[in-house]
Structure 1
Amino acid sequence: MLALVFLAALLQNTSALVEEGRKRMSEQAFAEAAALFEKAAEREPSSSRIHYYLGVSLMRLGRAEDAVPSLERAAALTPRANPAVAYELGTAYLQTGQLEDAERVLRRAKDRAPGETRIRLQLGWAYYQLVDGEKAQAEFRYVLEREPGNALAHFYLGMTEAALGKLEAAERSFREALELDKTLVGARLGLARVVSQSGRRDEAKSELEKILDSYPAGSVSAHNELGLIALREGDAETSARHFEVVLEADAGHRQATYNLSLLYRRLGRLGEAEAMRTRFESMKDDVIEDRSLSRASSKEPEP
């Protein structure tokens, strides 16, 4: 009964809703926090603070698309550009593929708070996604000058260097990232790719096997890379087996589908080859190969 009385009182008090929402955020109960902030936003639609907290809660739930309107509203209601709001909004734009918007918001946030390394890191990633390798490198290097132990910055720098064709530099960056955080599966995948491109395929396979052994979340990407290595080595049977594993886990994987259509034909499995070709042609027209930039120059923050 007392709990019901408390809840009824809470729902009548916007400030209490916000404080309870923040408490739930600190407990990482983001779904409950979002529900409280939604109620508070209905009461005070002109509060940038409430819209910010709602957007952050939705982001932590992996709902970037839902978070964008709340964060846009928070930004619009803030008299002066706020780095905390801009960071979350820029990140939400990145996660929803709105790259130009992400770059615009994060660049303005950088101008207002040039020393904020998390903003510089996200801005660099926006530049990478926009195929502007030189600007991406500059942002990641700025972060690393101030935070040499930032594993994610080393990883992002490695991705950029690899895309620019700077394989030795990329290898160093990936190794540094893994030295700092062995759980960075993306860095291990990147390392495997660059050593494979350098002709050290056995070493690449060893790195990919480490992912399969210890990090199930990266198994699809690891099998895809192993399939590509086997394809380059002319081992059609092994390559096909890896790509088949990829499609079992991700039926919409376009690269694996395309490669299997070719491999099945090479192996004389013509019916399966035709089925894969048809399946591939029905898929969304995404880029198959990795991008190359060498063609182009805990406690939530207060809003």
Structure 2
Amino acid sequence: EEHPDNPGARLFLGLTLAQVGDLDGASREYKESARLAPDDPFPHYFHGQALHTLDRLDMAIREYREAVKLAPQDVRMRLNLGSAYYEQGIFESAIAQYREALKLNPGDAYIHYNLGLALADQGRFEPAIAAYKESARLNPTDPLVRYALGVVQETKGRVNEAIGEFEAAAQLAPTMAAAHAKLGWLYYNKNQVPQALEHFEKASRHDPDDAQTLHGLGLAKLASGKKDEGILSLKQAYQKEEREDKKRLIRSVLVKVGALSH
């Protein structure tokens, strides 16, 4: 104990221990630093981070709240508190922190995105769309925002808007299998088989083990008259699918095209 009463030294030691992965040791130092410097938000903030990493979310929230109380103008502290609430499923409190963070830093695309996620998880789709759109405006090259927008538009039944967003996501991130898979299903359900096939093929190239993609790929191939290839994809989908209801669905298609007996 070389600096028993120096809060800065205890804080620094905590950070050093955290870097080498001794989070319990780090927590002890942060706690001691907070006791010695009760007005300093940083021991609480870093203690919160250590607890957050250890998945002790309720304790992390307590420390982050203390940090926010001591430094209400610090965006990072509010963001961490918000994300801990979000992971706990306490969306209302997460939203409140993100909104406060945005008052301090309205130009931060990442905060708008996080706000959108929390609103969407609450089922508040219109405000979620507004938050995502603002995030996309501030950071037009982020594919995740466009993907998230597509998901909400699809949930609202706005198929063409959803397609537009997923197309944008796929253009920004050509290897994003999830965006191609979404496009595959949307085009397939619109009876636009060539587009569906193109996107299912891209999706399965970038994520060859996804059962749902293989299922869609098989259906699109059958609809394109490529029966043998379609059956092959559907059989792969059947093997990889874990959900019983979806397995039954794939099986019924295979029976219908005569690839399986009943």
Give the TM-score, by structure 2 length.
0.71
- Decide which of 38, 41, 62 is 1:48's aligned counterpart: 41
Q: Which residue of 2 aligns with 1:299?
A: none
Count of residue pairs brought into register by the alignment: 242
Q: Which residue of 1 aligns with 2:113?
A: 121
Please say if residues 90 and 106 of structure 1, whose CA atoms lie closer than 8 Å, have aligned partners that are also in contact: yes
More moved, 201-210 vs 171-180: 201-210
Secondary structure in structure 1 of the residue aligned to 2:96: helix
For structure 2, which runs of at least 5 residues remain unmatched after alignment?
A: 224-229, 256-262
Secondary structure in structure 2 of the residue aligned to 1:44: helix
Aligned pair in 2 of structure 1 residues 85, 189: CA closer, same or farther (>3 Å)? farther
More moved, 118-127 vs 92-101: 92-101
Q: Displacement, 1:23?
A: 6.1
Distance 2:51 2:180 in 1: 29
Distance 1:243 1:10 in 2: 63
- Decide which of 150, 157, 167 is 1:175's aligned counterpart: 167
Structure whose alpha-carbon radius of gyration is higher? 2
Q: Which residue of 2 aligns with 1:270?
A: none
Q: Displacement, 1:163?
A: 1.7
Structural mapping, 1:16-27, within 5 Å: 16-19=9-12, 22=15
Structural mapping, 1:55-204, within 5 Å: 55-57=48-50, 61=53, 65-77=55-67, 78-79=69-70, 80=72, 82-201=74-193, 203-204=195-196
Aligned pair in 2 of structure 1 residues 148, 259: CA closer, same or farther (>3 Å)? closer
Distance 2:8 2:180 in 1: 46
Q: Which residue of 2 aligns with 1:289?
A: none
CA-atom RMSD in angstroms: 3.7
Distance 1:229 1:99 in 2: 36
Please say if residues 37 and 51 of structure 1, whose CA atoms lie closer than 8 Å, have aligned partners that are also in contact: no
Aligned pair in 2 of structure 1 residues 178, 237: CA closer, same or farther (>3 Å)? closer
Secondary structure in structure 2 of the residue aligned to 1:199: coil
Please say if residues 51 and 59 of structure 2, whose CA atoms lie closer than 8 Å, have aligned partners that are also in contact: no
Secondary structure in structure 1 of the residue aligned to 2:100: helix
Aligned pair in 2 of structure 1 residues 198, 72: CA closer, same or farther (>3 Å)? farther
Aligned pair in 2 of structure 1 residues 108, 207: CA closer, same or farther (>3 Å)? same
Q: Displacement, 1:261?
A: 4.9
Aligned pair in 2 of structure 1 residues 141, 262: CA closer, same or farther (>3 Å)? closer
More moved, 207-216 vs 125-134: 207-216
For structure 1, which runs of at least 5 residues remain unmatched after alignment?
A: 1-7, 248-255, 268-303
- Decide which of 246, 253, 258 is 2:245's aligned counterpart: 258
Amino acid at match of 2:212: N
Aligned pair in 2 of structure 1 residues 111, 203: CA closer, same or farther (>3 Å)? same
Please say if residues 27 and 50 of structure 2, whose CA atoms lie closer than 8 Å, have aligned partners that are also in contact: no
Q: Displacement, 1:135?
A: 0.6
Distance 1:231 1:97 in 2: 37
More moved, 165-174 vs 186-195: 186-195
Please say if residues 52 and 74 of structure 1, whose CA atoms lie closer than 8 Å, have aligned partners that are also in contact: yes
Distance 1:76 1:66 in 2: 16
- Decide which of 229, 233, 241 is 1:246's aligned counterpart: 241
Q: Displacement, 1:32?
A: 1.5
Q: Displacement, 1:11?
A: 8.7
Distance 2:172 2:64 in 1: 35
Please say if residues 18 and 36 of structure 1, whose CA atoms lie closer than 8 Å, have aligned partners that are also in contact: no
Amino acid at match of 1:168: N
Q: Displacement, 1:179?
A: 2.5
Amino acid at match of 2:151: M
Q: Which residue of 2 aligns with 1:226?
A: 214
Identity of aligned residues (%): 18
Give the TM-score, by structure 1 length.
0.63
Q: Displacement, 1:123?
A: 0.5
Q: Which residue of 1 aligns with 2:258?
A: none
